[in-house]
């Protein structure tokens, strides 16, 4: 995988995590008790936010490692020969839509047709 694709993947991951964090903060009441899916422990919304922010920091650290703290990306994205990968953009958007559909329990067209058949 090229350096630009690795960087874009990490940046997309950060945006996705921030979006999910924002949605959680908006949708979940402050006094809610949440369950950690990995450990099964109960936690508050603030604890969950702290964990999510820790994950975001980990991704940022990974990004800094990949880019050698930004030293490896000089002239990478402002290079006149750099071409945005439209296929990757479409693939990432499709994955994002699929993830949103799963979170919102939305059926795809194929699933809807199958459900209507039954």
The total of structural domains in the chain comes to 2
Please state the pTM of the whole predicted model.
0.62
Instruction: Say yes or no: 12 and 51 in one domain.
Output: yes
Res 61: pLDDT: 95
Question: Would you give the distance in Å from CA 79 to the centre of its chain?
Answer: 27
Residues 42 and 100 in one domain: no
Query: By residue range, what is the domain housing residue 116?
Result: 84-118
Distance CA 14, CA 95 (A): 15
Of residues 23 and 117, the one with the higher pLDDT is 23
Question: How does the average pLDDT of the chain come out, rounded?
Answer: 82
Strand-pair partners of 35:
42
Write out the E strands in 49-90: none
Mean predicted confidence (pLDDT) in 43-67: 92
d(CA 58, CA 99): 21
Q: What is the pLDDT of residue 35?
A: 84
Q: Is 88 in the same domain as 70?
A: no
User: Can you tell me the distance from the alpha carbon of 55 to that of 61, in angstroms, rounded to the nearest whole number?
Assistant: 10
Examine the domain organization and report whether 76 and 89 are in the same domain: no
* Predicted local distance difference test score (pLDDT) of residue 83: 63
The partner residues of 42 in beta bridges, in order of sequence, read: 35
- Read off the pLDDT band of 106 (50, 70, 90): low
């Amino acid at each position: 995988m090229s350096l630009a694709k690795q960087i874009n993947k990490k940046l997309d991951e950060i945006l996705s995590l921030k979006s999910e964090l924002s949605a959680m903060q908006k949708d979940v009441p402050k006094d809610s008790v949440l369950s950690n899916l990995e450990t099964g422990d109960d936690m508050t919304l603030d604890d969950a936010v702290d964990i999510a922010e820790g994950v975001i920091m980990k991704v940022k650290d990974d990004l800094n490692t990949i880019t050698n703290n930004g030293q490896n990306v000089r002239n990478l994205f402002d290079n006149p020969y750099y071409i945005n990968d439209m296929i990757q953009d479409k693939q990432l958007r499709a994955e994002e839509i699929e993830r949103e559909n799963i979170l919102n329990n939305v059926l795809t067209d194929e699933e809807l047709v199958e459900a209507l058949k039954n």
